[in-house]
Amino acid sequence: MDWKPFIGLPLWVWLFVFPSLFAIVCLLLRGRLQGFLKPIWTILDGVYTASGVLAAFCMIGILLIIIVGMIFRWVGWQFQGSTDYAGYAMAATSFFALAHALNRGAHIRVSILLNINTFTRKWINVFAIFVAAITATYFARYAIKTNYMSEMINDRTQGIDQVPEKLLTVVKMFGSSPSEWGAMWEAAGSEWVYTPMWLPQIPMSIGATLLAIALWDNLYRLLVTGENPISAETVEGDTSGDKSNNIRTTKLKSGVTEPSS
């Protein structure tokens, strides 16, 4: 495997060993870390929410692409690459929503073993989130590497979708130093080019990275507070004697369903 050194240590140490060691620190110190971590948790919750909002905008983008495509067909015009653009927006929606959906309990979880007792519920949750965090971190690392590989080999889309070359320059600015920006804009043309694959792959890398961060974050919160932060709200219909629907909201937390007041 290609795990190049980063700041003097192999990358796998930074991605797997240090986060795992910090989980042990959270288990040992617990309450003493809670005051230090609360402001960080607040910031991360805002990031997860912003990612969910961005996913919602991408979903709206899918709708707009479909509507524009319909209008173009009605007037006899051609919207080249509309299917590809909609596919990119759909992929972005899925990945941007991963972290937000995790914290809302929208991911599928098998909780049959969590209902045995409180002790097993906690430690099975710890084990499951730890394994998920390791897996998500591994995926995020290779998702980012895919971006670099696509840019290195100049991989282009196989469809007919195109993007302005100036847009690519703007995106590249975020991954380069300011001293290179002048040369980049001098080399940028004004024509449209076939979409490089690294552009639609960026949401995949961002979403996978946020999911990995969210899983490690939830692991630390569980170890520090003793409560599983992954929760969800569901709405169930209850038919009464007069056949009117009374809506009951239940909160699913730590695999146990409890009626909310």
Q: What is the residue-level pLDDT of the chain in tens, covering all 261 positions?
A: 577 777 778 989 999 999 999 999 999 998 889 989 999 999 999 999 999 999 999 999 999 999 999 999 999 998 989 999 999 999 999 999 999 999 998 888 777 777 777 778 888 899 999 999 999 999 999 999 999 999 999 999 888 899 999 999 999 898 888 888 988 898 888 899 999 999 999 999 999 999 999 999 999 999 999 888 887 554 444 444 443 344 333 344 444 444 443
What are the domain boundaries of the chain?
9-157+195-228
Radius of gyration of the chain (CA): 23
Structure tokens at 72: 């173009």
Gap between the Cα atoms of 173 and 181, Å rounded: 6
pTM for this predicted structure: 0.85
Gap between the Cα atoms of 224 and 214, Å rounded: 15
Structure tokens at 123: 């430690």
Under 8 Å between Cβ of 227 and 238: no
